[in-house]
Chain A
């Protein structure tokens, strides 16, 4: 039981991180119709910026600021230089153009920061763990992660539903020309949304940095998982991103905990280990395939 609660919390924490990435990505896709593979690179840029800032100043808060600014600015740069030419182009070209940007970003980051991955410690005020249940001490850092995810979810909900910018974002998703004709600078709005998506990636990056390894290519692994989240949740909806992120987070962490055990009940140990490892890694893709087959547009699509 304790194990189950712990794994569920891990799932929640992982889902929280996925939500930070998926919400920005789906906002961008829902509004501008661009498949942006560079999204994972923003996450990497955020983590590297944070690690660099923390190494040189020693302050985690400066690290957070550096991640938000670094990833946000890089996203704006990418939008202005490349992505703005890709609206309304075939998805194929968007995939190719942003794939090129990933290769570029990976090399650029390794040139600037070196091949050796930087280390980042858990900041002192988030070290240690909290007793949640008798027999269950849960790390404070992970709890902070979950809380951040929840705050961002609430914040985005408020932004999209209760502010003028949010209203324009929703209107722009439905009818770009109309919003443009009403005198709103839609180009700038798009750049803004893109930068916001990048900043959210940066936040995910700085939170993940002390827990996971900071390395070149960390963006791609999480990017593909983020796509799974979006497709499961429904492309273009932030609510869908939340549901998808939690579902994928849970399936992944519970799968990691229980699939090998379940297999060992029926198979010889060596076969179970091999097969288990493969099944664990593939579990979220199996989830995605099942969801797509039952509901081709995802669980909570933006329209319909």
Chain B
């Protein structure tokens, strides 16, 4: 029964994701497509964070730094291209196939450094040190006066892909959804591989795993880097979606939002965070239409989720941990 329900929910969710542009057209509200697009992008970040939060029990309170870095990599290159100083003097330097991997490499490098240093600690100290690194990134972004400083940076246009016109909202949306599906499938493979099992063994009992001959550090660091790459990808897509980057992308409240989405959706379930992103972003949208003071409702909702929502949406639906 559960597996059939699972299949039904997954199919339903996929259908909803894939038909969102048509639904938007049918109902005549262009805002719906934007909403779906924001959900798809946040879902990529949430799935990535869940990789270490749910499967590795590493509470990173600084994941927004990768979101911000990914976004700024796109923003800064676009800024120079627009000013007639393209990357390495090459005119095509706004190409997604160049810019995006470059942004992800930057995120991976940052994650390797931050992860190496942070993983010397655990528990509260780990939460705090990841927060501290994110704050450093935040302040560096604020201090980049030539790239807008506090106010952020507007992008002239989106990156370009051969044969695919990213400037069309529907096309861009499908690219985001495709990346979401691909990335989630990749993460599912990761957590079910031998590597993922070791990661989960470390979550359950670090001491037992160590006694079985596992060195925790390389496993956790690898998971941290993979997670950062995914979050960076979300940042890259966000910069392209909003055509705007600002230090807020790396603010600590953004990290908190990502955690909230994962917990809301269900820790340690990869599909849960996608549902979490949908509910969170939709709620945000609905509440902010309803009242300017929507935080006064959103805040208590987060608190209630933390108090009572141990298993999240996915946990309630499926009642199991993997998948």
Contacts and interface: CB of A to CB of B under 8 A. Distances in A.
B251 to A, nearest CB: 9
Given A96-B306, A101-B303, A111-B293, A281 B139 contact: yes
B124 A289 contact: no
A91 B302 contact: no
B56 to A, nearest CB: 12
A100 B303 contact: yes
B127 interface: yes
A106 interface: yes
A107 interface: yes
Interface string B121-142: 1011101110111011001101
A44 to B, nearest CB: 14
B61 interface: yes
B46 to A, nearest CB: 14
B100 to A, nearest CB: 26
Nearest to A294: B120
A293 B304 CA distance: 36
A297 interface: yes
B242 to A, nearest CB: 22
Contact of A95 (B61, B267, B298): B61
B295 interface: yes
Contacts of B125: 231, 235, 292, 296-297
B302 A99 contact: yes
A224 B135 CA distance: 9
Interface string A222-264: 0010011011000100000000000000000000000000000
Given A92-B263, A95-B127, A278-B143, A107 B299 contact: yes
A285 interface: yes
Interface in A69-116: 82, 85-86, 91-108, 110-111
Question: Interface residues of B: mostly helix, strand, loop or mixed?
Answer: helix
Given A35-B127, A93-B263, A104 B120 contact: no
B28 interface: no
Nearest to B252: A224
A99 B127 contact: no
B117 A289 contact: yes
Interface residues of A, number: 46
B286 to A, nearest CB: 16
Nearest to A281: B139
B129 A104 contact: no
Contacts of B44: none
Given A107-B296, A297-B125, A97 B303 contact: yes
B301 interface: yes
B256 interface: yes
Interface in B249-282: 252-253, 256, 259-260, 263, 267
Interface in A97-146: 97-108, 110-111
Contact of A99 (B117, B124, B260): B260
Given A96-B259, A100-B303, A100-B306, A91 B59 contact: yes
A85 B307 contact: yes
B3 interface: no
Interface residues of B, number: 45
Contact of B303 (A82, A107, A220, A235): A82
Contacts of A231: 125, 128-129, 132
A29 interface: yes
Given A92-B259, A96-B259, A106-B295, A274 B146 contact: yes
A29 B61 CA distance: 18
Contacts of B128: 227-228, 230-231, 288, 292
A105 B53 CA distance: 27
B295 A104 contact: yes
A92 B302 contact: no
B264 to A, nearest CB: 9
B253 to A, nearest CB: 8
A100 B301 contact: yes
B305 interface: yes
Contacts of A275: 143
A98 B256 CA distance: 10
A29 B124 contact: yes
Nearest to A97: B306
A277 B143 contact: yes
A96 B136 contact: no
Interface string B292-323: 01011011111111110010000000000000
Report which residue of A96, A104, A275 has the largest number of chain B beta carbons within 10 angstroms of its beta carbon.
A96
A86 B306 CA distance: 9
A88 to B, nearest CB: 13
A213 interface: no
Nearest to A78: B303
A282 B140 contact: yes
A184 interface: no
Contact of B129 (A97, A99, A102, A292): A292
Interface in B204-261: 252-253, 256, 259-260
Nearest to A286: B136
A96 B263 contact: yes
Contacts of B303: 82, 96-98, 100-101, 104
A29 B125 CA distance: 12
A102 B251 CA distance: 15
B145 interface: yes
Given A106-B295, A220-B252, 9 more contacts: A35-B124, A95-B59, A95-B256, A97-B303, A99-B260, A103-B295, A230-B128, A281-B142, A292-B120
24 contacts: A85-B307, A86-B307, A91-B124, A95-B259, A96-B260, A97-B303, A97-B306, A99-B256, A99-B302, A100-B301, A104-B300, A224-B131, A224-B135, A228-B132, A231-B132, A235-B125, A274-B145, A277-B143, A278-B139, A282-B139, A285-B139, A288-B132, A292-B117, A292-B128
